Amino acid sequence: MPALFVTGTGTDVGKTYVSCALIRALKARGAVVDAFKPVVSGFDPKDAAASDPVRLAAALGDPGGMFRIAPRRYRAPLSPNIAARLEGQTLGLDDMVIDAVARAAGLRDGLLLVEGAGGVMSPLTDGETNLDMITALGAPALLVAGSYLGTISHVLTALVALRAAKAEVAAVVISESLDAPDLDQTAQALSPFLAGAPLFLAPRAQAWDAAALAEHLLARPRTP
């Protein structure tokens, strides 16, 4: 399946920042790319312009694409299963997987970025996590982390979970956190523990050009 699952070590580590930069870099190289966010919680319709789906739509050049990108949107800033329950709904993993597969199939030779909610082990439904969706899709994972103190442990823990589930790790991206240790020093400390997973850095001082990440992904063998 021509899809890449963008996951994280936790919430608010920069998944959408990385996804948007990657979309722009892929489009600049003539690649066909689309985005899908199976479920969004903490969505305020009155402040939709700041939401992840609108940012993804803008990166795609599809300003009206929010509803297509994120069909399940809930107000409460809680795990998606709880936020959905507060609105009288129950989330099912099969439904989200079917939607993602259908979206990927429609791209033909393109790449679908499937952006999860929260971290690798964050619940999506009452009994399943982002990791369960990654394995159900059989899609490689792009693991995004912050550069805050403690991130090395979080990255390695997430990698253990992904690899235990036999999920392919396409790359790790360290998205710079505010008021955090030096980004390069963090990368140098983390690198020896990655067991071959490619590492990319996403600084915040200026808009990050994800060219190197895009080239790496385009050069990888495609998942059937």
Query: Residues with catalytic annotation?
Result: 37
Q: Mapped to the 3 state alphabet, what secondary structure does 189-215 carry?
A: HHHHHCCCCCEEEECCCCCCCCHHHHH
Neighbours of 131 (CB within 10 A): 23
Which DSSP string do the residues of 123-146 spell out, in sequence order?
BSSSS-BHHHHHHHHT--EEEEE-
Q: Which of 51, 64, 44 is closest to 20 using CA atoms? A: 51
Strands (DSSP E) contained in 3-146 are: 3-8, 33-36, 111-115, 141-145
- With both helix axes pointing from N to C terminus, report the angle between 211-219 and 15-28 in degrees, rounded to the nearest 10: 70
DSSP state of 48: G
Q: Kindly list the distances between the CA atom of residue 39 and the CA atoms of 35, 70, 159, 224, in Å, as whole numbers in the listed order.
A: 12, 6, 23, 25
